[in-house]
């Protein structure tokens, strides 16, 4: 007579205990792996946020003075775009530069007697920028794009009222006769760029904000009236700026004077990013420092 054999109760209990231990080990490893992954991802996000902000700000600061005329406005006002840094504070910066590619050379001397080059139509070596921007009505706003005409560092304000692809020209208000000569003159847009740090005690903590003013007349006010600020980076617990002259000597003051701003040849930027990362809320601090040479100011 055959006998059916099975597992004893003890064997079943031991097997279940082993299975529970194995499951706990697997769950612990998975939990630790998820925690590490979350921590790493959080750290990478903070680093990317801070470094991307530093790269963007540094790139524009490096352009300070580029395309900006150093002479005075034609006529009696003698308005000037210099110094190109019009505000230099510990957490605020305002500077001028041609940062978006609006410069072009005048290739036909405007003359009241020349129908191909009248005083209200400037033929340029490229009008791609003005065509892409729809310069007679940029952004659907009322009025045309404000720009300047430059000759031998002197300048005059203009407004684009139209463009013609057929002859590569932009239409403007009447220019002084024979003032802007072909090959020696050009047009440009001069942007005024504003940065400021806005501190906050709690998440998302402080932020860097940016504003760009497009115009054809210098404005040294800071902050500008009617500004619409755009956040560049947040989760910042510190941000400061330092300014140095050609001998690498720091220029002191909570806000530099005009004479001091004219001496600036290097801008030192410091950012500190902070956040709590991972499921355990581990604090993570990232500090980035950059020294930017503003070579265009020495031209």
pLDDT score of 119: 87
pLDDT score of 3: 56
Residue range of the domain that includes 146: 101-188
Within-domain flag for 94: no
The sheet that has 104-105: what strands, in order across it? 104-105, 185-188, 146-151, 154-159
Rounded Cα distance between 108 and 124, Å, is 8
Strands of the chain (E only): list them.
85-88, 92-97, 104-105, 121-123, 146-151, 154-159, 162-164, 169-171, 185-188, 190-198, 206-215, 230-244, 266-277, 282-293
- My answer on whether 114 and 141 are in the same domain is yes
Within-domain flag for 141: yes
- My answer on whether 165 and 227 are in the same domain is no
Within-domain flag for 235: yes
pLDDT score of 50: 85
- Structural domain count, the chain: 2
pLDDT score of 251: 96
- My answer on whether 116 and 184 are in the same domain is yes
- My answer on whether 117 and 250 are in the same domain is no
Within-domain flag for 122: yes
Within-domain flag for 91: no
- My answer on whether 202 and 294 are in the same domain is yes
- My answer on whether 197 and 294 are in the same domain is yes
- My answer on whether 114 and 55 are in the same domain is no
pLDDT score of 255: 93
- My answer on whether 61 and 133 are in the same domain is no
Within-domain flag for 23: no
- My answer on whether 240 and 269 are in the same domain is yes
Domain final position from 188, 216, 242 = 188
Residues of the chain short of pLDDT 70, as ranges, are: 1-7, 29-44, 138-143, 177-178, 277-281, 298-299
- My answer on whether 60 and 201 are in the same domain is yes
> Is the distance from CB of 200 to CB of 235 less than 8 angstroms?
no
């Amino acid at each position: 007579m055959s006998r059916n054999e099975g597992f004893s109760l003890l064997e079943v209990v031991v097997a279940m205990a082993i299975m529970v231990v194995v499951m706990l080990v697997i769950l612990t490893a998975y939990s630790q792996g998820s925690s590490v992954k979350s921590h790493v991802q959080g750290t990478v996000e903070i680093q990317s946020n801070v470094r991307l902000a530093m790269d963007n700000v540094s790139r524009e600061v490096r352009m300070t003075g580029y395309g900006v005329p150093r002479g005075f406005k034609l006529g009696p006002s003698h308005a000037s775009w210099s110094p190109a840094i019009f505000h230099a504070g510990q957490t605020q910066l305002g500077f001028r530069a041609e940062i978006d590619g609006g410069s072009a050379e005048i290739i036909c001397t405007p003359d009241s007697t020349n129908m191909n080059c009248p005083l209200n139509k400037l033929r340029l070596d490229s009008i791609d920028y003005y065509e892409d921007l729809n310069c007679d009505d940029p952004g659907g706003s009322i009025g045309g794009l404000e720009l300047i005409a430059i000759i031998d560092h002197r300048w005059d304000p203009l407004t684009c009222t139209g463009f013609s692809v057929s002859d590569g020209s932009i239409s403007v208000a009447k220019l002084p006769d024979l003032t802007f000569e072909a090959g020696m003159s050009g047009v440009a847009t001069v942007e005024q760029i504003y940065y400021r740090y806005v501190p906050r005690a709690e998440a998302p903590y402080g932020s860097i904000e940016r504003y760009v003013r497009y115009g054809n007349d210098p404005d040294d006010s800071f902050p500008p009236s009617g500004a619409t600020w755009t956040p560049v980076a947040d989760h910042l617990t510190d941000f400061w700026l330092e300014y140095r002259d050609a001998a690498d000597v720091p220029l002191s003051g909570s806000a530099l004077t005009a004479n001091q701003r004219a001496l600036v040849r290097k801008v030192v930027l410091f950012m500190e990013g902070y956040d709590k990362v991972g499921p355990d809320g581990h604090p993570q601090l990232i500090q980035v420092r950059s020294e930017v040479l503003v070579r265009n100011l020495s031209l």
